[in-house]
Amino acid sequence: MSTFLEDKRRLIFEHIPSFFRKAALLLGFVVIGLIPAVSAQAQETSAKAELKSSLNDLSTQYQSEVQRLEKRLQDSKKLYDDGLISRVQFEGDEKALADARAKVEQIAKDIAAANQPALVIAPDAIVSELGASNIAWTTGNAKVDGLIRTYGAQYSVDPYLIYCLMSQESSFVASATSYKGAQGLMQLMPGTAARYGVTNPYDVAQNIKGGTRYLKDLLKMFNGRVDLALAGYNAGEGAVMKYGNKIPPYDETRNYVKLILKRYTKKATS
């Protein structure tokens, strides 16, 4: 009996190390599985912090511009009262100041929106008017990925569509400049950049925001027609309307739309 009990105790002790080894191995798998999630969360947090920093810098620039224009308007009023400048010139300065103040108000709204926790959105939680894509994608830059998702959610544009357009426009090179003068990741022309308040088209946050807003407006203009929105992005909305809301007969534009749609519509079968 004594021998039986000793054998039983020995078997129990022999299996204890094995049990702990298995437990440690299981714990290791759990920790390893958590690493990608923690890393993704850290990247998202970093992208949001850089977005806030960019918006704050832009707000400072806009406020400085307002102060400059306020002083200029004061000077213009004196000159106008003395009959040294025309009413048209004076009203032009008034309009410039009003536009600058509108930019300050808009950037304040953008900063408030960026401070909302809801803007930190997981890729599979994004819902857009086009229907969010579940296909995996990355530009290779966590900051750019985060900004695409953030502005895609903010302006209800499928982030994957923004990604496909950006790939075609610049191959994700923030310093890209075309021979026609288009600039940055989303290749904004100077006129388009000015229209959407982009003062530095090589700033990735400003560029992606401006390009996404433009794409959103094109989608609204052409009733959600992705092909026409892309054609408008490439050739200008005027060209699309000129040809009866059809893709203009330009080889470059037709190829541009074809290539992006070929990539974008793969999500439907993925």
Average pLDDT score over the chain: 79
In this structure, of 17-26, 129-138, 157-166, the range with the lowest mean pLDDT score is 17-26
**pLDDT (0 to 100) of residue 122:** 34
**pLDDT (0 to 100) of residue 206:** 96
What is the percent of the chain where pLDDT is above 90? Answer: 50
For residue 19, pLDDT beyond 80: no
**pLDDT (0 to 100) of residue 12:** 47
For residue 14, pLDDT beyond 60: no
Full 3-state SS string of the chain: CHHHHHHHHHHHHHHHHHHHHHHHHHHHHHHHHHHHHHHHHHHHHHHHHHHHHHHHHHHHHHHHHHHHHHHHHHHHHHHHHCCCCCHHHHHHHHHHHHHHHHHHHHHHHHHHHHCCHHHCCCHHHCCCCCCCCCCCCCCCCHHHHHHHHHHHHHCCCCHHHHHHHHHHHHCCCCCCECCCCCECCCCECHHHHHHCCCCCCCCHHHHHHHHHHHHHHHHHHCCCCHHHHHHHHHHCHHHHHHCCCCCCCCHHHHHHHHHHHHHHHHHHCC
pLDDT in tens, 69-82: 999 999 988 898 88
For residue 257, pLDDT beyond 80: yes
**pLDDT (0 to 100) of residue 13:** 46
Residues serving a catalytic function are 169
The structural domains of the chain, with segments of one domain joined by +, span 47-119, 121-270
pLDDT in tens, 23-60: 444 445 444 444 444 454 555 566 667 677 777 887 88
pLDDT in tens, 222-256: 999 999 999 999 999 999 999 999 999 999 999 99
pLDDT in tens, 82-105: 888 888 888 888 888 888 888 888
**pLDDT (0 to 100) of residue 129:** 38
141: number of Cβ within 10 Å: 16
For residue 61, pLDDT beyond 90: no
For residue 127, pLDDT beyond 70: no
For residue 17, pLDDT beyond 80: no
**pLDDT (0 to 100) of residue 119:** 33
Q: Which residue did the predictor score with more confidence, 115 or 269? A: 115
What is the topology classification, in CATH, of domain 121-270? Lysozyme (1.10.530)
Determine contact, residues 139/162, Cβ cutoff 8 Å. Answer: no
What is the percent of the chain where pLDDT is above 70? Answer: 71
Mean pLDDT of 185-193: 95
Q: Which residue did the predictor score with more confidence, 211 or 59? A: 211
**Closest C-alpha among 114, 109, 117, 77 to residue 93:** 77
Distance CA 114, CA 123 (A): 17
